[in-house]
Chains A and B, each alone.
Chain A
């Protein structure tokens, strides 16, 4: 599905991604974990074309998407749910969802198909249906997150990028969000690349994970194995570990 080789990216002069290689198979949930500033969001933004790739290749189903404009990347099948939701506050919930299908509509997509997808979203997120005529800005954080996910799904992506979906949400709402992620995979077969501060929850729902440290991948493995890894526990799962080296 997605194959990345040696991508490098910069924020100004900061070398934010150093030779990152990773892959996702169709139907997989893969998570990126790492501390603040490790390069997780940068990686997602590079994939979706928001930040330019300095070097390397990104193959989406065999097609190199490096250098493509962000809207082109969406039509090629890659949608991102940005950090902090970024829904269009003054617009109604339904309008937000419809905007997710804008590129499909422009490309001559059938209105009936788009309407059917809208119904699907309402089935998946009944709360959004209840509030379909409400301005998105009046929704709670959790509802906005559902809306942001729904909006991304309206583009019928092959690959969904989720950036910190649980950020700033109450614990119970976080559980809901992770349930949604699980359903997306089991019911829709969506391939997901997930970035999360909540590493434990992310590793529980994911198949595999990559651990990023200062822009570099230092570990790759099955999610269950990473949960057991002492480095990961020490750095990201909040286990208290002394770093004393006995020789």
Chain B
């Protein structure tokens, strides 16, 4: 098994911790000097960077949340002048302001090498032909994997998302050996191949690197079986760096977090208290080397646990389990982050009042579907079918443009949505992940 940067990935724990402390202290000195948000927050709490004398002292510092990033839209959290930023990405837009993240030249280099690490761990090398079926654009996913592949020396096919039949044709003709996509899209590809009468086992495809949404071991087995490949998971979020925070090795027993670049903590999402190693809780990440957009204790809202046991692959970096859910109400539908509040805002904007609604998420085959049920009120009552149809179309269009995900909108009888303590039960997720 190849290791991309063994001098870091296989560091003894004691050395990792020394390096983390040094880099943490340097990061805090820099953000305190350069980022107003952190400085005011630390001052309010009566903290100076010098108060952090050990990794455990990190717990004294305040969390950073997505809300903080929105409040500092667009460049407020940057720690370098804009002229030093060479790339700007943005996280999935919401009804409010999206969050903007920046990279210096050095940040891009680090990002590429972090992706190269997990791609190498998944078995990719310079002989591979990597087909990237993530959407390019403001999302970080495609670019991260793109740069990582190039750094390894693999041949990159920047396909982008969608257009399944063309994906399959290219996969056949260009002799793709590694597929990068969301896990559900991999299933879509497998299904389409079956329909087209193509035997995936006759292809050159051998590995799949899947991320961007939570998936189960059962789904892994299904993908591996149907496509005849080895499938590994990887994790990242644009607020922290994008893909490359963590990735699985071929032992497939959790994703190694690159601890020389990030400190991972697990907290109780309700109290914010740091939980002992092995506990299940919300993942909190602190960046150690980022220049343009350093992050101190970012609440990822992803629920997972950390495993410090030694891994058979030789890497000493801690492993995080597959994410088991969210500590907020965010849904991931077709790889896109969706908050029920966004839908609420859309309905409110159209109606002028808040209707009772319910979201039903399901998975047909491998693709997620979203159905929005709205209770009929006096405001939304139509005796004409035509008007009703026009109303539903309008809502669907608006939802599609705001979320970036299509939804089916249905009107239901008043009081047919069950209420729990006066509040409607907003989300029904029927997907078996």
Instruction: List chain A positions with a Cβ less than 8 A from chain B.
Output: 3, 5-6, 18-19, 21-23, 210-211, 213, 216-221, 225, 228-231, 243-247
State which of A19, A23, A219, A246 has its C-beta within 8 Å of the C-beta of B53. A19
State which of A217, A220, A228, A245 has its C-beta within 8 Å of the C-beta of B106. A228
* Known pairs A6-B53, A243-B81; A217 contacts B25 (CB<8 A): yes
Query: Across the interface, which residues of B come within 8 angstroms of A246, CB to CB?
Result: 75, 81-83
State which of A19, A221, A245, A247 has its C-beta within 8 Å of the C-beta of B25. A19
Query: Which residue of chain B is the closest to A211 with respect to CB atoms?
Result: B26
- Taking a contact as CB atoms under 8 Å apart, the answer to whether B83 and A218 are in contact is no
- Taking a contact as CB atoms under 8 Å apart, the answer to whether B26 and A218 are in contact is yes
Query: Across the interface, which residues of B come within 8 angstroms of A21, CB to CB?
Result: 18, 21-22, 25
Q: List 9 A-B contacts (CB under 8 A).
A: A6-B53, A19-B49, A21-B22, A210-B22, A210-B26, A216-B29, A219-B30, A220-B26, A225-B109
Query: Across the interface, which residues of A come within 8 angstroms of B53, CB to CB?
Result: 5-6, 19
Docked Cα-Cα span, A224 to B267, in Å, equals 37
Docked Cα-Cα span, A244 to B80, in Å, equals 10
- Taking a contact as CB atoms under 8 Å apart, the answer to whether B29 and A217 are in contact is yes
- Taking a contact as CB atoms under 8 Å apart, the answer to whether A22 and B30 are in contact is no
- Taking a contact as CB atoms under 8 Å apart, the answer to whether B26 and A219 are in contact is yes
State which of B30, B50, B76, B82 has its C-beta within 8 Å of the C-beta of A218. B30
Query: Across the interface, which residues of B come within 8 angstroms of A216, CB to CB?
Result: 25, 29, 49-50
Query: Top 5 nearest A-B pairs by Cβ distance?
Result: A246-B82, A6-B53, A19-B50, A21-B22, A216-B29
- Taking a contact as CB atoms under 8 Å apart, the answer to whether B33 and A218 are in contact is yes
Given contacts A21-B21, A220-B26, 15 further A-B contacts (CB under 8 A): A3-B18, A6-B54, A23-B15, A216-B49, A216-B50, A218-B26, A218-B33, A228-B105, A229-B106, A229-B291, A230-B84, A244-B81, A245-B82, A246-B83, A247-B76
Q: By the criterion of a CB under 8 Å from any partner CB, how many residues of chain B are at the interface?
A: 29
Q: Is B234 an interface position by the 8 A CB rule?
A: no
Query: Across the interface, which residues of A come within 8 angstroms of B18, CB to CB?
Result: 3, 5, 21, 23
Of B21, B25, B104, the most chain A CB neighbours within 10 A belong to: B25
Docked Cα-Cα span, A86 to B53, in Å, equals 36
Of A210, A243, A246, the most chain B CB neighbours within 10 A belong to: A246
Least Cβ–Cβ distance between B216 and chain A, in angstroms = 39
- Taking a contact as CB atoms under 8 Å apart, the answer to whether B106 and A218 are in contact is no
* Known pairs A230-B104, A243-B81; A23 contacts B30 (CB<8 A): no
B33-89 with Cβ < 8 A to chain A: 33, 49-50, 52-54, 75-76, 80-84
Query: Which residue of chain B is the closest to A19 with respect to CB atoms?
Result: B50
Query: Across the interface, which residues of A come within 8 angstroms of B106, CB to CB?
Result: 225, 228-229
Least Cβ–Cβ distance between B401 and chain A, in angstroms = 29
Least Cβ–Cβ distance between B21 and chain A, in angstroms = 5
B1-27 with Cβ < 8 A to chain A: 15, 18-19, 21-23, 25-26
Least Cβ–Cβ distance between A2 and chain B, in angstroms = 11
- Taking a contact as CB atoms under 8 Å apart, the answer to whether A220 and B23 are in contact is yes
- Taking a contact as CB atoms under 8 Å apart, the answer to whether A247 and B75 are in contact is yes
